[in-house]
Amino acid sequence: MIRDKIIGFNPRSKIIIILIYLIFILAVSTINGTVLLLMVPLVLLIGCSGTSRQVEPDLDVSRDRDVYRSTIGEEVNVQLKVHNRGKCLRHLTIRDLIPAGLTKSGGVASMITTLNSGASVTLEYTLTGKLGTYHFPGVEIVLPDMAGLNPIKHKIPSMEEVVILPGNTFRKGLILRPHRTRLQSGLNPSRQGGEGMELFGIREFRPGDSLRHINSRASARHPQSFFIQEFEHERVATVVLILDTRDYSLSFPEEGNFLQHIVEATGMLGEALINSGNRVGLYIFGNYNGWVFPGSGKLQKERLLRTLALEKAIEPTRLNKLADLPSRLLPPRSVILFISPLQGNEPWMMRVLKGLKHQVMVVSPDEITFEREKPTRQKNINLALRTANLERMLFVRELQNSSIPVLNWEISTPFEPLISKFLGTYWQ
């Protein structure tokens, strides 16, 4: 449905009205009727502008897709097609309104053209932006009058959106060794003997065992019995990512943002765990809240990444503490990866989760170092940074004393090798 709105007097119309007013005052003050003749062309111009409107437009506006999906750093190619189903429209202005937060990097997003009946015109351009979900405001159509003074603006709403997801991915999946696994086959060692790739041990032969698993050396040392090689079952695990989005030193849209770094790292971590066959869930708490129930597969990965992209668009809530998390939402004895700079008083809640038989690990981005390395940092906050760093290290030591492993991640360090080494060291 097209919504019409007549644009008020533009600067040219205002100038003409001011000239008519000045001429009238001059004619009255000089008592000279011939001066009023100067008003005639201007009055006719204003009258022509009000009576020479074009016909009501009948346009069909469509884009090449409903959802534009891209990653950070990549360009989004947008194609807008406008088809005229009505009469000829002259000097038509078509302007595709770009969502706030996105910038046009190339192409044409607006044009002035004459659209004949049954004709079509296509606008093609590219957009770039940061992590998030953006909705197109609509398409603006401007029809001028004969005098070009009072054009009419029509706004056609749009339902399409642009979704920009975390772009970096792990080169390979992450292997966990959880305390509890599910029955489905996966890549994680389950600490149970059975079919698998890694040797789990050697035991005595039982009826029904495969003969190809007989260990010849062990059987040779015991002539009265046979021994077989037993392998370790590889199964999937349930992992819940808990992301802390409370107030940080930088707001979300700014370049070099600290929160954007940890949101991208969470997306990379969740995608790698899903690619390894695990069931992955997500809980976002802080200024914004979101919950994705654990699942697996491509749809779950898309659901998780979209929730992270929507993170800055969700309405703020009061659930800004980890204690507000309903523990019953967490699957029993699941692996919990807590991503937070450890600025709040949350170690006690992590100990509670560990007491509920969850396997808790913490990935802590170092915001203090990030703030210290900023080029625009004020020089009189060194003492505050040192105090905050001491408080953070006390939190880390308290968690480590509770047998909760903590990864101290500096933003300038690549995340993939660091988390892979951290998980490998922890399982060993």
**Three-state secondary-structure class, residue 276:** coil
**Residue recorded with tokens 């016909």:** 55
Q: What is the pLDDT of residue 230?
A: 72
Give the pLDDT score at 249.
41
Q: Assign residue 99 a region: left if phi > 0, alpha if psi is -120 to 50, beta otherwise?
A: beta
Q: C-alpha dihedral over 180, 182, 187, 190, to 10 degrees?
A: 40
CATH T-level fold of 1-165: Immunoglobulin-like (2.60.40)
Q: Tell whether the torsion through CA atoms of 285, 290, 295 and 298 is positive or negative.
A: negative
Q: In this structure, are residues 123 and 111 in contact, taking their beta carbons and an 8 Å threshold?
A: yes
Dihedral over alpha carbons 295, 296, 301, 305 (to 10 degrees): 20
Instruction: Give φ, ψ of 147 to 5 degrees.
Output: -85, -15
Strand order in the sheet with 161-165: 67-71, 161-165, 132-135
Query: Are 1-165 and 238-427 equal in CATH topology?
Result: no
pTM above 0.95, yes or no: no
For 347-352, the CB contacts below 8 A with 24+ separation are 347/395, 347/398, 347/399, 347/402, 349/322, 349/323, 349/325, 350/322, 350/399, 350/402, 350/404, 351/402, 351/404, 352/327
Q: Using the structure block, give the residue that is written with the tokens 């981005």.
A: 365
At the topology level, CATH places domain 238-427 in Rossmann fold (3.40.50)
Using DSSP's 3-state secondary structure scheme, residue 69 falls into strand
Tens digits of pLDDT across the chain (428 residues) = 344 444 455 666 677 777 777 877 877 787 777 777 777 777 776 666 655 555 677 888 888 887 888 887 788 899 999 998 888 888 888 899 988 888 888 888 888 888 888 889 999 999 988 877 888 988 988 887 765 666 778 888 888 888 888 776 776 667 677 766 665 565 665 565 666 566 666 777 778 777 777 777 777 777 777 777 776 656 678 888 988 877 654 333 344 577 778 888 888 888 888 887 888 899 887 766 778 888 888 888 888 888 888 755 444 445 556 677 777 778 888 888 888 887 666 677 788 888 888 888 888 888 777 777 665 556 667 777 788 788 888 888 888 888 888 888 888 888 888 888 887 655 44
Asked if 336 contacts 309 with a C-beta cutoff of 8 angstroms, the reply is no
Domain ranges of the chain: 1-165, 199-234, 238-427
